[in-house]
Amino acid sequence: MLNLLLISLADKFDLRSIIRDDCNYILVIYGRFDLKSLKASRVDGFKSKPIIVSSESSISEIMGILKHNNAYEVFIQEGDKVSIITLREILKAADISMKVSSLMFYIPKLSPDDTVGKAAKLMNDYRLRALPIVNEGTMEGTVTAQSLCRALLSVRTFRSVKIGKMMTRKPITIDKGESVSKARSMMLNNSIDHLPVLDSGMLCGILTSNHIVLSMFPREGMERGAFVSRPSSHLDIKVSGLMDSKVLVCDPKERASSVLKRMIENEKTYYIVHHWREIQGIVTYRDFVYFLAEPEKLDIPAYIVGLPDDPFEAQLARIKFMRNAKALRKSFPKIEEIRSTIRTRDISGDRCRYEVNVLIRIAGKRYIYSQDGWELPSIFDLITDKMMRILTKKRKRWKRNIRRFP
């Protein structure tokens, strides 16, 4: 009966994917949203049931709950405050009998009327996959990165975006001969959950925070729900002994919507963008959620002109420009203004060749950097790398001059 209903709905609404999630069937209808209306939608329409635990629970109990529910985080509500503990936070645990209260941290709350754009920005700012929805002091639900990404699949213009344009380039990697303990430190220091594993420079596996957390909990304890205080010794083994050798890979020219759909359907959280036996980048839910976030704001003038007509191309360029501008401002606080101009130099089929100029003003002086190419995100990355190198050299020279002329 359910199958007949789904087929009928698919015929009626032109459904392109039916995704099963926690015994519910989620119907993704392409063309339901445009990007602007999706970002302005209320989060109340995307809420799901949260996992709420007591602050008196032990880390070992939380690990069992996360495994049983195939979840990444749990919430703790105490009065009008909501805290969270994630798999990545559990990596910090020296003793898994310790209470949740020693690792949990307070997070922003959403009201039912808050927008998807606000939720996406907070997720990006705090590097979270879920946020609580609180109404009159009661936690009514949670909005997750995955639920927002399902909605993103319904944006018709999203189907033309290639995954290579939105991936995170130059992902942090680890050699298969390194210890799991080192991998854990890398994840914590860089606030990441995925490490591509290399063998002589070639991709051979993937290690996630989930792999490491499960290795901390003895198998017999996880299976029986036993209370265990001492972590497993798996942190001392090599990465090759814990990694997943069946890596999810895609080509940079694949459609982002196809990759995202496979992630959701297979309940995965990443794809490695791979071409000619080399890692080009990595995509996680965080990269997709960036599309939906409210614009970044800086404390200095930062603007971009000449954006492409295509809304997703424009959003990609805007995201990359503001993210890089924020990084530059953080590294060089004396920057007073950042301005970028995009010019289309050549059109070949459905591709455009761009020339990008970025102007930076520091202490009244102007510095201009230029780069051309076919992909705006990679152009901005190249310009930023160039600016970082040049400005770092100039800063060293400024410091030498200050010491020389007190």
- β pairing state of 270-275 and 249-250: parallel
Tell me, yes or no, whether 104 and 200 share the same domain: no
- pLDDT, averaged per 10 consecutive residues of the chain (406 residues), comes to 38 38 41 78 93 93 92 93 94 88 94 95 92 93 95 87 88 95 94 95 95 75 45 74 95 94 94 91 94 82 84 80 82 86 78 85 85 84 80 63 46
Tell me, yes or no, whether 177 and 211 share the same domain: yes
| Residue keyed to tokens 């380039």 | 169
Tell me, yes or no, whether 319 and 213 share the same domain: no
Tell me, yes or no, whether 240 and 304 share the same domain: no
Tell me, yes or no, whether 380 and 400 share the same domain: yes
Residue 223 lies in a domain: no
Residue 336 lies in a domain: yes
Q: Where are the beta strands (DSSP E) in 136-248?
A: 138-144, 168-169, 174-175, 194-199, 202-208
Looking at residue 403, what is its pLDDT?
A: 46
Cβ–Cβ under 8 Å, residues 379 and 372: yes
Tell me, yes or no, whether 176 and 126 share the same domain: no
Residue 256 lies in a domain: yes
Residue 23 lies in a domain: yes
Sign of CA dihedral 164, 168, 170, 173: negative
Tell me, yes or no, whether 211 and 276 share the same domain: yes
Other Cβ atoms within 10 Å of 212 Cβ, number: 24
**Domain end point (choices 141, 159, 177):** 159
| Dist CA 39 CA 154 (whole Å) | 12
Looking at residue 295, what is its pLDDT?
A: 78
Q: Which residues of 361-387 are buried (b: 16+ CB within 10 A; e: fewer)?
A: bbeeeeeebebeeebbbbbbbbbbeeb
In the three-class reduction of DSSP (H, G, I as helix; E, B as strand; rest coil), residue 80 is classed as coil
| Residue keyed to tokens 């400024």 | 398
Looking at residue 90, what is its pLDDT?
A: 93
How many folded domains does the chain comprise? 4
Tell me, yes or no, whether 261 and 323 share the same domain: no
Tell me, yes or no, whether 371 and 389 share the same domain: yes
Residue 222 lies in a domain: no
Tell me, yes or no, whether 210 and 330 share the same domain: no
Tell me, yes or no, whether 51 and 23 share the same domain: no
Domain residue limits at 155: 34-159
Residue 225 lies in a domain: no
**Domain end point (choices 275, 290, 305):** 290
Tell me, yes or no, whether 155 and 45 share the same domain: yes
Residue 224 lies in a domain: no
Give the closest residue to 84 by CA, choosing from 146, 149, 142: 142
Give me the CATH number covering residue 194.
Answer: 3.10.580.10
Q: How far is CA 307 from the centre of its chain?
A: 24
Sign of CA dihedral 310, 315, 316, 318: positive
Give the closest residue to 62 by CA, choosing from 22, 91, 36: 91
Looking at residue 107, what is its pLDDT?
A: 95
Give me the CATH number covering residue 323.
Answer: 3.30.160.100
Residue 338 lies in a domain: yes
Looking at residue 84, what is its pLDDT?
A: 96
**Domain end point (choices 241, 272, 290):** 290
Structure tokens at 390: 């040049």
